[in-house]
Amino acid sequence: MIIAIDGPAASGKGTLSRRLASHFGFSHLDTGLLYRAVGEALRAKGLDPADEPAAVTIAETLDTSALDRDRLSGSAIGEAASIVAAIPAVRAALLDLQRRFAHSGKGAILDGRDIGTVVCPEAEVKLFVTASPEARARRRHRDDLAINPSVTYESVLADILKRDARDSGRTVAPLVPAPDARLLDTTDLDIEEAFQAAVRLVEAAG
């Protein structure tokens, strides 16, 4: 079984995906980490995240075993990832990797922006996890404070809105719900409530 979970930044889809994978005994891939890793590698080399040839080269040689969620967290890398993810050739370079992961083992959960629409349109279960921009900014701001105590809620909200516009407006694999995706709005839910709701949606889909 393949479970595709899509949604905007800080909607809670990553946490939900990890918990669902543990609950059902499935493997899990946070595809956003792939783009964050490419963006971080470009920044480490002092290169522009919009440098297409360099970004493609990094994407084609990406070592998925070296993905570190803690190291790749933070708004700056998230911004670079959003820029990188808008490059069609980068998305093409990472597409086969994601599809091979999805079809390995007894079950897989992939979360990202285009899993149900592009990467795995054949997924048996598709969830689109969302929340209001303000709720997502509050969550991201709380997380970012642990890294940068001077970060403001206003700057995080502005970043969220900018990323939403970029992710939804790009010409290749824009962030949109799949026609058969089940919507899960987590604006007014804590993580446990959101998890239980997600379990019900998966189980209802078989």
Residue 64 pLDDT class (50, 70, 90 cuts): confident
* For the chain, percent of residues with pLDDT exceeding 90: 80
Neighbours of 122 (CB within 10 A): 12
pTM for this entry: 0.88
Listed in sequence order, the DSSP H helices in 10-152 are 13-24, 31-44, 52-60, 75-85, 88-102, 133-145
Q: Please tell me the predicted confidence (pLDDT) of residue 110.
A: 98
Does residue 65 register a pLDDT over 80?
no
pLDDT digit string (tens) for 21-49?
999 999 999 999 999 999 999 999 999 99
Q: Please tell me the predicted confidence (pLDDT) of residue 80.
A: 92
CATH code, domain with 159: 3.40.50.300
7 is in an annotated binding site: yes
Which residues neighbour 100 within 8 Å (Cβ) at sequence distance 6 or greater?
A: none
For residues 111-120, give the mean pLDDT.
96
11 is in an annotated binding site: yes
Q: Please tell me the predicted confidence (pLDDT) of residue 74.
A: 76
pLDDT digit string (tens) for 134-179?
999 999 999 889 888 999 999 999 999 998 998 899 888 899 999 9
Does residue 75 register a pLDDT over 80?
no
Domain count within the chain = 1
81 is in an annotated binding site: no
Q: Which domain holds residue 29?
A: 2-204
Instruction: Supply 103's token pair.
Output: 């079809």
107 is in an annotated binding site: no
15 is in an annotated binding site: yes
